[in-house]
Amino acid sequence: MAMGYVFGKISDLHIQLPKSGLYVFLKAANVPLGPFYNEHRDRRELLAEGSLNRAKRSFCLDRSAQATFDNGWYEPNILPPVARWMGSRGVVDFRASKISEISLDLTTHIPDLLDHPLGLEILLNGLRVCAFSLFRYGWLTIRFLVAGELYSDAEHEYQLEIRASRTWQPRPVADETRDDRELSVAVCNIEIHSASENTT
């Protein structure tokens, strides 16, 4: 259901989804499907050796007790993968040593993306570090360096904020399938990379 290609075709061909909101998209073939639903991602972090090697250099906010997601985020969903949808604005507060880089994966199911791209801004400690527009469906990995002036105070407290230009309601119909959440993008794998000891 999270396959961007399918949602892109639905939007391009102006196909109306069932009003009941109950639909399933199935990918099938008589040959191997290849990479599917983000299963091709690097899974070395699941192994003890890989985790120990990188434990002091990076961590994922999605799975960290140090991170606080504000009420601009919804509870995690299995799209797949497991990700959090946000409304027009979502903030994550976290603590870390000086950081050198942040990466995250995001996608959207918002209709008419080709005709009306979704504008996004990413801010760290109130300063804009990234701005772009989504005009295609599918998962996108965003990676940006953290400049020295964005380092926080000695307490190493950070605030990561994402802003979206618009939202949509998946199923606003008034029945048992109703889903009137205001959604923009789904985000996962928010990874914080620590700066080396000699970073100034």
CA triple 147-91-118, angle to 5 deg: 85
Q: Are 167 and 90 in contact (CB under 8 A)?
A: no
For the segment 91-138, what is each residue's pLDDT rounded down to a tens digit? Answer: 999 988 888 899 999 999 999 999 999 999 999 999 999 999 999 999
Q: What is the pLDDT of residue 18?
A: 63
Q: What is the pLDDT of residue 1?
A: 40
Paired tokens of 44: 């070395």
pTM: 0.68
Q: What is the pLDDT of residue 174?
A: 66
Which of the residues in the chain have pLDDT under 70? 1-5, 7, 16-27, 34-56, 148-155, 172, 174-176, 195-200
Q: What is the pLDDT of residue 53?
A: 45
Classify domain 4-194 at the CATH class level. Answer: mainly beta
